[in-house]
Amino acid sequence: MINSVQENGRNLRSHRTARVAALALLLTLFFDPRGRECAFGQPSGPNSVKIVRDIPYVPGGDPAQKLDLYLPEQPSDKPLPLVIWIHGGGWEAGSKDGCYFQFLVGQGYAAASIEYRFSQKALFPAQIQDCQAAIRWLRSNSKKYNIDPKHFGVGGDSAGGHLSALVGTAGGKKAFAPIGGNEGESDRVQAVVDFYGPADFNAVMSQAAADKTKSAFNFNHGDPYSKLIGVDLGADTAKGDAVSPVHYVGRDSPPFLILHGSVDNLVPFAQSVELQDDLHKVGVEAILQRFPNSGHGGPAFNLPAVHQLIKDFFDKYLKRERIKIETLPDSVVSPR
C-alpha cells in the first residue's frame, strides 16, 4: 500500500512537471517572437547600417525605457521618414534587439526599436505611456538624427502589435497621462503595421470560444491579457475598453496594414477582423492580410513578398507615393 501511494505520488509529480514544462514552452512561444518557428528572424538588410543602442527616452527613468536607432551609414541629404518597431512578448518579455524594420534602412527610411516596462513591473497603461514617450522623444530629437518628424510609422508583433495599434488609434487623444517630458511634441503616427495584435480585450474570450482553433490559454488563470490589466478578463469592462485599440478608433486614425494567421491560437483572428471593420466604418484605410494555415507567427510573415507589401504600405503613407496596395494571394503566403 505504501509503495502504491509512493508510486502514485511520483506519477502525480511527473504529471505536474510535464504540465509546467508545457506551459513554460507555450509562454515562451507567446512572449518571445524569436522562440516561434522562424516568425521574426533578423531580416536581411543592407550592410551599411549604423546602430545607436540604448538611448534613454525618459531622463533618469527605468532601465527598460530605452530605444535603439537604425540609421543609414551614408547620411541622407534630407530627413528620412521613421519606422518604429515595438517588440512582442506578452507584455512581460521580449527585447528591442533585432528590429524587424531594419530591412527598410537603406531604402529611404530610418528605424527605431523601443523597449518598454513589462507587466510584472508595471500594469497597463505603463506600456503605452512608454511607447508614446519614446515617440515624443524621437520627434524632439528629429533634427539631431535627420529624421522627418511629420512622417512616423509604427509596427509590432503580438503584444507589440497591440501597442502599435493603440499608438495609432489613441494618438493625440491624451487618453494616457504623458511621462518623460517633451509634452509639446505629438505622439501621433501616420501609418500602422499590426502583426496579429489583440484589439478588443472585452471580446477575446468570446471570440476564442467561437473560433474553430482551440485557444492555448486557460483564461483568467495567469494568461498575459489578465496580467497586463491586473484583473480577470471580463471582470472590469472599463479596463478592457481602456486597453483596447478599437475603443479609440476615429476618423483621425491613421491607415492600418494588419497581418494575421487564420489559425492563431493565442490571439483570435477575429480580433483583426473586428479592428479592420471598425476602421472601415469611420472611413479609415485598413488592409487585412490573411495568412492561411499560419498561427501566431511563422515563416510566412518573413517572406520577401511580405517585406515588399510592408514597404509599399509605408511608401504610400509616409513618402506619399502613388501606390495601389493589394493583399497577397493565398498561394504566396501559405506555408509550403
**Does 261 have pLDDT greater than 60?**
yes
Count of other CB atoms within 10 angstroms of residue 207: 17
**Does 222 have pLDDT greater than 70?**
yes
Sheet holding 286-291, edge to edge: 49-56, 66-72, 110-114, 80-86, 147-157, 191-195, 256-261, 286-291
Is 27 inside any structural domain?
Answer: no
**How far apart are the C-alpha atoms of 241 and 200, rounded to whole Å?**
7
pLDDT tens digits for range 126-178 = 999 999 999 999 999 999 999 999 999 999 999 999 999 999 999 999 999 99
**How far apart are the C-alpha atoms of 64 and 128, rounded to whole Å?**
13
Pull the grid cell for residue 268.
483570435
pLDDT of residue 264: 97
**Does 71 have pLDDT greater than 80?**
yes
pLDDT of residue 213: 86
For 149, residues 6+ apart whose C-beta sits below 8 A from its C-beta are 79, 138, 139, 142, 185
Rounded to an integer, the average pLDDT of 242-253 is 98
**Does 67 have pLDDT greater than 90?**
yes
Residue 191: band (very low, low, confident or very high) from pLDDT cuts 50, 70, 90: very high
Bond prior to 224 in cis (omega within 30° of 0): no
Is 24 inside any structural domain?
Answer: no
> For position 160, which CATH number holds?
3.40.50.1820
Is 1 inside any structural domain?
Answer: no
**How far apart are the C-alpha atoms of 250 and 282, rounded to whole Å?**
6
Domain extent, residue 37, equals 32-333
**Does 70 have pLDDT greater than 80?**
yes
pLDDT of residue 336: 64
pLDDT of residue 221: 87
Is 260 inside any structural domain?
Answer: yes
pLDDT averaged over every residue in the chain: 89
Name which of 36-40, 98-102, 207-211 the model is least confident about: 36-40
Asked if 65 and 4 touch (Cβ cutoff 8 Å), the reply is no
Is 13 inside any structural domain?
Answer: no
Residue 229: band (very low, low, confident or very high) from pLDDT cuts 50, 70, 90: very high
**Does 241 have pLDDT greater than 90?**
yes
Residue 212: band (very low, low, confident or very high) from pLDDT cuts 50, 70, 90: confident
What DSSP assignment string belongs to 55-105? EESSTT--TT-EEEEEEESS--SSPEEEEEEE--STTTS--S-S-GGGGGB
Is 314 inside any structural domain?
Answer: yes
Rounded to an integer, the average pLDDT of 2-7 is 41
Rounded to an integer, the average pLDDT of 190-198 is 98
Least Cα distance to 155 among 191, 119, 118, 202 occurs for 191
Rounded to an integer, the average pLDDT of 34-63 is 72
Is 18 inside any structural domain?
Answer: no
Is 129 inside any structural domain?
Answer: yes
In this prediction, what percent of the chain has a pLDDT beyond 70? 85
Domain count of the fold of the chain = 1
Asked if 31 and 118 touch (Cβ cutoff 8 Å), the reply is no
**Does 13 have pLDDT greater than 80?**
no
